[in-house]
Chain A
């Protein structure tokens, strides 16, 4: 290994001054909790006596038992299956919707564009919990005007039944984030030099062809970015099912992995298994995001 030059040393000193505050907090808020979760996930509590009273509780090393327990818990694994299904359907749908809206707004004439764009973007300003409370009212039979309207024409809908509640949640998430993703895409679209369109149009391309062959490839980086964030967001699903849970008998305590870990930790009072579940969740999230980036990375190179 070569020795660092004097310039590099000076640089390192200055850089560390700027880096330190962030790095310290990063250690505290990212690295330490992960290490801690790894550590707790390897322990379990042993008790003596009917309630572990009398000093009868202590923690012992248990290897990967907690991971085994988490993976054998059908509720937990079902939760994973559920968010994956959710991600497979909702993320593409939302990205397609956002892209369509972005392209439509680009194509529309100027006068109404501001209004539409604002309307689409507004829900992003509504926190997930409040959006869920809001949509909860719009779903619950007896209060929901949608159910009432459907009922009056003899259509018996239940947004919160076992088969539909996942999509009810997907709708909340889409409603909230489609506009935001649209804005990201618009920003990228704006960077496309206008001459490109003009040239294409002169060549006889119609609006659809311009969108398909010029605009879409150009906004690909923004599409990748929004998709990665959406995947991470999907795995974190928590507030929506938590808020809707009391309204329906279709959401169990392990509806999403996150909800499961939360309940395991705080309701079942089982910190160690919860830590194992949190670690598994983080692993899957990383694997999926990296995996997606690799796939698009490769395809991007093939295409180029």
Chain B
């Protein structure tokens, strides 16, 4: 296979990524070491006029459109898109496996939270050599920083997922329920909706991604790094508040506990059995696609706040286009990644597909973002997400093994929801497990 096999056995020396405390917005501070070169063969690179094919793994709906556009414009560099399943992290399982086997795709869709776990794997290519600095200014600063570790840039930002509240305005109106602006009001709304025989929505045990977002909004800071020591504080005050809140909803039977974005949930969304969803900007496409008959009845409101008048939001998801180590054509891969996420036509197509909130600072207009306006009864719903995006505390930092973390949360919540125990016990358990997990990965950890 490719020369960069990173299978077990002696690991190839890697290029060191470093620089002292240059951690900027992402807050990373890595200990510096000398800069050695790759211990493996340099990628070939493309000769002029040579025709090549790059593989790209993604699960963003409609991403085949911009890929097709690229292929029609760049006959020499064909992108072969592989649509991978994104259920319960299956896509990353596949990518990790491929990285280990030394045959990863050239490019992959990697969410912000997951970028570090691929670095543990030594899976991503540092793009600084291929002109990353030159394109930095095209992206939102904090999103760019999500993939910057030390001096190295490991991925091109694609989209963020500012959170908001989707709701069936027609049902809320009929039941005379106000749009909840705070979490207290949200609970009251849940009670009112329950009296009407419906459920406000669901708390899915396996959705660690959203739980992280909710904790983020409440002011939690799960991970921090100081020197080369990680601090893990999953069981902190803000997260406890979030856990207590959702536990109360579950215990009072005000909320379902079925998995979200699965057939049961879609059925409920279609029938109005669930009239609301704490979702994110990319959720518009999911609703449009899965509940076409409810067109015109939905609206988007800001995420409910812990205190009236506050304005805090968070991200659910958010993605990058990463280039995997082992690609033979890093420059072309990088060029495609940049084009995909900045070219106005491409971004327009991605928005149509519903990929989230563009990371590129230009290349899209408000009008582009309103592509599902009719579905939301003519509301300028993207403004809500735009405001939410501004209200995200961008100092939140992801830990080095978020996919494991989500799995831990999923298992612990599953146990609590179906057996017994409190949501707080989940936090304590996951905190403990995460400290162990990082330690077992050979990292230095301190409990926060």
Q: In their complex, do chains A and B touch, with some C-beta pair under 8 Å?
A: yes
Q: Residues on A close to B: CB < 8 A? A: 40, 43-59, 69, 75, 137, 140-143, 161-163, 245-254, 262-263, 265-271, 273
Across the interface, A246 reaches (CB within 8 A) one of B87, B400, B440, namely B87
> Scoring B residues 38 to 64 as 1 if CB is less than 8 Å from chain A, else 0, what string do you get?
000000000000000000000000000
Per the bound structure, the CA–CA distance linking A30 and B139 in Å amounts to 51
Main secondary structure of the interface of A (DSSP, over half): loop
Please, which residue of chain B has its CB at the minimum distance from the CB of A51? B119
B209 in the interface (beta carbon within 8 A): no
Q: Are A142 and B263 in contact (CB under 8 A)?
A: yes
Across the interface, B8 reaches (CB within 8 A) one of A40, A142, A246, A263, namely A40
Q: Are B205 and A57 in contact (CB under 8 A)?
A: no
Interface band, chain B: 35 or more
Known: A57-B122, A247-B264, A267-B404. A50 touches B225 (CB 8 A): yes
Q: Are A269 and B263 in contact (CB under 8 A)?
A: no
B258 in the interface (beta carbon within 8 A): yes
Known: A58-B11, A268-B401. A75 touches B442 (CB 8 A): no
Chain A residues with CB below 8 A from B16, complex form:
53-55
Q: Are A50 and B263 in contact (CB under 8 A)?
A: no
> Scoring B residues 78 to 121 as 1 if CB is less than 8 Å from chain A, else 0, what string do you get?
00000000011100111011001000000000000000110111
Per the bound structure, the CA–CA distance linking A262 and B93 in Å amounts to 9
Known: A52-B120, A54-B18. A249 touches B93 (CB 8 A): no
Per the bound structure, the CA–CA distance linking A140 and B267 in Å amounts to 10
B196 in the interface (beta carbon within 8 A): no
A-B contacts, 10 of them at CB < 8 A, read A45-B442, A47-B441, A50-B225, A50-B229, A51-B30, A52-B119, A54-B33, A253-B410, A262-B93, A267-B404
Per the bound structure, the CA–CA distance linking A267 and B94 in Å amounts to 8
Per the bound structure, the CA–CA distance linking A263 and B89 in Å amounts to 10
Chain A residues with CB below 8 A from B262, complex form:
246-247
Known: A40-B8, A44-B440. A246 touches B418 (CB 8 A): no
Q: Are A268 and B404 in contact (CB under 8 A)?
A: yes
Known: A249-B206, A252-B414, A268-B437. A59 touches B8 (CB 8 A): yes
Q: Are A53 and B30 in contact (CB under 8 A)?
A: yes
A-facing residues in B365-412 (Cβ within 8 Å): 400-401, 403-404, 407, 410-411
Known: A59-B8, A269-B121. A248 touches B259 (CB 8 A): yes
B17 in the interface (beta carbon within 8 A): yes
Q: Are B13 and A69 in contact (CB under 8 A)?
A: no
Per the bound structure, the CA–CA distance linking A127 and B99 in Å amounts to 29
Please, which residue of chain B has its CB at the minimum distance from the CB of A251? B414
Chain A residues with CB below 8 A from B206, complex form:
246, 249
Please, which residue of chain A has its CB at the minimum distance from the CB of B258? A249
Please, which residue of chain A has its CB at the minimum distance from the CB of B229? A50
Chain B residues with CB below 8 A from A143, complex form:
263-264, 267
B257 in the interface (beta carbon within 8 A): yes
Please, which residue of chain A has its CB at the minimum distance from the CB of B267? A142
Per the bound structure, the CA–CA distance linking A75 and B227 in Å amounts to 33
Closest CB of chain B to A265's CB: distance in Å? 8
Closest CB of chain B to A63's CB: distance in Å? 14
Q: Are A162 and B14 in contact (CB under 8 A)?
A: no
B336 in the interface (beta carbon within 8 A): no
Please, which residue of chain A has its CB at the minimum distance from the CB of B39? A55
B355 in the interface (beta carbon within 8 A): no
Q: Are A55 and B8 in contact (CB under 8 A)?
A: no
Q: Are B259 and A161 in contact (CB under 8 A)?
A: no
Q: Are A246 and B259 in contact (CB under 8 A)?
A: yes
Please, which residue of chain A has its CB at the minimum distance from the CB of B411? A252
Please, which residue of chain A has its CB at the minimum distance from the CB of B436? A69
Across the interface, B268 reaches (CB within 8 A) one of A59, A142, A249, A252, namely A142
Chain A residues with CB below 8 A from B410, complex form:
252-253
Chain B residues with CB below 8 A from A273, complex form:
440
A-facing residues in B393-448 (Cβ within 8 Å): 400-401, 403-404, 407, 410-411, 413-415, 417-419, 437, 440-444
Per the bound structure, the CA–CA distance linking A225 and B239 in Å amounts to 54
B133 in the interface (beta carbon within 8 A): no
Chain A residues with CB below 8 A from B122, complex form:
52-53, 57
Chain A residues with CB below 8 A from B259, complex form:
246-249
Most chain B CB within a 10 A radius of its CB, from A48, A50, A56, A143: A50
Closest CB of chain A to B123's CB: distance in Å? 10
Please, which residue of chain B has its CB at the minimum distance from the CB of A75? B411
Chain B residues with CB below 8 A from A49, complex form:
30-31, 33, 228
Per the bound structure, the CA–CA distance linking A45 and B440 in Å amounts to 8
Q: Are B88 and A51 in contact (CB under 8 A)?
A: no
Q: Are A58 and B149 in contact (CB under 8 A)?
A: no
B204 in the interface (beta carbon within 8 A): yes
Chain A residues with CB below 8 A from B228, complex form:
48-50
Closest CB of chain B to A269's CB: distance in Å? 5
Please, which residue of chain B has its CB at the minimum distance from the CB of A250? B418
Per the bound structure, the CA–CA distance linking A19 and B264 in Å amounts to 54
Chain B residues with CB below 8 A from A141, complex form:
258, 264
> Scoring B residues 231 to 268 as 1 if CB is less than 8 Å from chain A, else 0, what string do you get?
00000000000000000000000000111001110011
Closest CB of chain B to A39's CB: distance in Å? 9
Across the interface, A50 reaches (CB within 8 A) one of B33, B404, B417, B443, namely B443
Q: Are B418 and A53 in contact (CB under 8 A)?
A: no
Chain B residues with CB below 8 A from A69, complex form:
440
B230 in the interface (beta carbon within 8 A): yes
Per the bound structure, the CA–CA distance linking A266 and B18 in Å amounts to 28
Known: A246-B87, A248-B259. A51 touches B411 (CB 8 A): no
Across the interface, B407 reaches (CB within 8 A) one of A56, A57, A253, namely A253
Known: A49-B228, A249-B414. A55 touches B443 (CB 8 A): no
Q: Are B403 and A267 in contact (CB under 8 A)?
A: yes
Please, which residue of chain B has its CB at the minimum distance from the CB of A60? B442
B298 in the interface (beta carbon within 8 A): no
B28 in the interface (beta carbon within 8 A): yes
Closest CB of chain B to A178's CB: distance in Å? 27
B162 in the interface (beta carbon within 8 A): no
Chain A residues with CB below 8 A from B205, complex form:
249
Chain A residues with CB below 8 A from B411, complex form:
75, 252-254
Closest CB of chain A to B249's CB: distance in Å? 15
B10 in the interface (beta carbon within 8 A): yes
B164 in the interface (beta carbon within 8 A): no
Give me 16 other A-B pairs in contact (C-beta within 8 A), A246-B262, A249-B206, A270-B441 excluded: A44-B442, A50-B31, A51-B116, A52-B120, A52-B443, A53-B16, A53-B122, A53-B152, A54-B16, A55-B11, A143-B263, A247-B263, A249-B259, A249-B417, A266-B94, A267-B404
Q: Are A268 and B403 in contact (CB under 8 A)?
A: yes
Q: Are B97 and A50 in contact (CB under 8 A)?
A: no
Q: Are A271 and B8 in contact (CB under 8 A)?
A: yes
Per the bound structure, the CA–CA distance linking A242 and B11 in Å amounts to 32
Closest CB of chain A to B201's CB: distance in Å? 14
B150 in the interface (beta carbon within 8 A): yes
